[in-house]
Amino acid sequence: MAGVTEWFPGWAGRLRAPRSHDVEFRLGLERTLHDEVAVSLSAMVVQLDLLAGTTCPDPALAARIDVARSAICDAVEEVRRLGRVLFSPVLRGGGMANAVRAAAEHGELQLRLDLPDHDFDLAAQKRIGLLVVDRLHALRPNTRVRVRVRGRRFVRVSIIERPPGRRERRYWAVMTCG
């Protein structure tokens, strides 16, 4: 049997819709990175600041402490960036539409978002939002993207992207919600 891309040129393929336990797993990873790893690393920066303030005025030691402090601050930012990729904090608190817009803005994408008039429950918003945000994270800056979501119980998600200088690609997913 021929694949969908052979029958419909321009359709790149089907996206795998996240299940409820996928959403909870990713949310847990993001919380662990933020609440445990990033906070622990930030506490190390405070310890280094205290150490720098209590040591003798040795310029070589102060320089080494400053380098270590800078490296830890960079690691904190990287952990936070990774956490946002795993599960958008905006998706957790601001809803699906805001999370999609934030991901598009962060990725410097030209977004056209087409959502239904009705609201989805929180679990559905997280699943749909995670699906769309994951795809947006994979795009290069200045890509034009159209995201269309339709349905209530059977939700259809269509993502059409046009990277600069490339042809249009289409992705789709269908998931049951509710």
Domain span at 130: 90-176
Number of domains in the chain: 2
What lies within 8 Å, CB to CB, of 80 at 6+ separation is 33, 34, 38
* Distance between CA atoms of residues 13 and 74, nearest Å: 37
pTM above 0.85, yes or no: no
Determine the pLDDT at residue 38.
82
Residues 69 and 108 occupy one common structural domain: no
Residues 80 and 100 occupy one common structural domain: no
Q: Is 177 in contact with 124 (CB distance < 8 Å)?
A: yes
Task: Look at the block and give the residue holding tokens 């998931």.
Answer: 175
Q: Of 156 and 95, which is predicted with more confidence?
A: 156
Q: Is 90 in contact with 98 (CB distance < 8 Å)?
A: yes
Residues 78 and 116 occupy one common structural domain: no
| Structural domain ending residue among the three candidates 86, 120, 136 | 86
Name the residue among 145, 44, 140 with its Cα closest to residue 101.
Answer: 145
Determine the pLDDT at residue 7.
43
Residues 95 and 164 occupy one common structural domain: yes
Residues 130 and 169 occupy one common structural domain: yes
Q: What is the mean pLDDT of the chain?
A: 84
β-pair partners for 147: 113, 159
What does each C-alpha distance from 121 to 54, 128, 164 come to in angstroms? 53, 11, 35
Q: 67-92 pLDDT, tens per residue?
A: 998 999 998 888 887 877 777 777 77
Determine the pLDDT at residue 18.
83
Q: 104-139 pLDDT, tens per residue?
A: 998 999 999 999 989 898 889 989 999 999 999 989
Q: 10-60 pLDDT, tens per residue?
A: 556 788 888 888 888 888 887 787 778 888 888 888 888 888 777 667 788
Determine the pLDDT at residue 13.
75
Determine the pLDDT at residue 147.
97
* The 3-state secondary structure of the chain, one letter per residue: CCCHHHHCCCEEEECCCCCHHHHHHHHHHHHHHHHHHHHHHHHHHHHHHHHHHHCCCCHHHHHHHHHHHHHHHHHHHHHHHHHHHHCCHHHHHCCHHHHHHHHHHHCCCEEEEECCCCCCCHHHHHHHHHHHHHHHHCCCCCCEEEEEEECCCEEEEEEEEECCCCCCEEEEEEEECC
Determine the pLDDT at residue 2.
40
Determine the pLDDT at residue 1.
37
